[in-house]
Amino acid sequence: MKIVLFFYPKTRATRVRWMLEEVGADYTLQTLDVRAGENRLEPYLAVHPHGKVPALTIDGRPMIESGAICGWLADAFPASGLAPALDAPERADYMQWLFYASATLEPALGELFMAKRKGESGEAQAAAIVPMVAFAERALADRPWLTGEAFSAADVILASSFQWLRAMAPEMLPAMLSEYSTRAFARPAARRASAI
């Protein structure tokens, strides 16, 4: 299987690189100069219709959306143990968190990011994130990772989201979630993926 990751550092592409490192996939890193707008040029729009990163090609077939890609990688490389089995009770939690982080938490983080970029206080946007942070805090109160003792692709996504929140508004991240994110990013695969 030939996998190419279209990448730019310090973006959602890092989490996909992290997953590729976790599963031990053989992949090619294709760095796009996002600052120069290379991601918006025609050749890349055939891979990602909106000119965003990340995208993968798998034997030439494009795939987008970092949450979906991380979930797919966990299933495509089952020996990595990064997804509970289809019939495991933890599978429901796993799917919930993959989608919750991508579909609920991240759009709210995006709103806060945009507000701050416009020089606004972001107070209303931050208020919307508070119950989401509390939800994650409850989920992790009695376990090291979202599905229990085993680290999974859902943790890659959630820890990445919290890393982003920590960069934007560190005071919003409770110590326990800050420690969770730090612990996740201390994994060797995450360190390799974060090295520019």
Ligand X SMILES: N[C@@H](CCC(=O)N[C@@H](CS)C(=O)NCC(=O)O)C(=O)O
Among 3, 4, 9, 11, binds ligand X (CB under 6 A): 11
How many of the chain's residues bind ligand X (CB under 6 A)? Answer: 11
Phi/psi at 41 (nearest 5 deg)? Answer: -90, 155
Q: How far apart are CA 76 and CA 52, in angstroms?
A: 23
Among 7, 12, 44, 80, binds ligand X (CB under 6 A): 12
To the nearest whole angstrom, how small is the minimum distance from the Cβ of residue 194 to ligand X?
A: 14
Are the beta carbons of 105 and 161 closer than 8 angstroms?
Answer: yes
To the nearest whole angstrom, how small is the minimum distance from the Cβ of residue 175 to ligand X?
A: 26
In the region spanning residues 39 to 78, those forming contacts with ligand X, defined by CB under 6 A, are 39, 51-54, 65-67
CA pseudo-torsion sign 146, 22, 56, 182:
positive
Contact between 17 and ligand X per CB under 6 A? no
To the nearest whole angstrom, how small is the minimum distance from the Cβ of residue 62 to ligand X?
A: 12
To the nearest whole angstrom, how small is the minimum distance from the Cβ of residue 79 to ligand X?
A: 25
* Residue number with CB closer to ligand X (90 or 185): 185
Helices 123-139, 106-117: axis angle to 10 degrees equals 150
To the nearest whole angstrom, how small is the minimum distance from the Cβ of residue 82 to ligand X?
A: 18
Task: Determine the residue type at 36.
Answer: A
* Residue number with CB closer to ligand X (65 or 111): 65
Are the beta carbons of 66 and 6 closer than 8 angstroms?
Answer: no
Are the beta carbons of 126 and 169 closer than 8 angstroms?
Answer: yes
Q: How far apart are CA 184 and CA 157, in angstroms?
A: 10
Among 19, 34, 74, 126, binds ligand X (CB under 6 A): 34
Name the residues that contact ligand X, by CB under 6 A.
Answer: 11-12, 34, 39, 51-54, 65-67
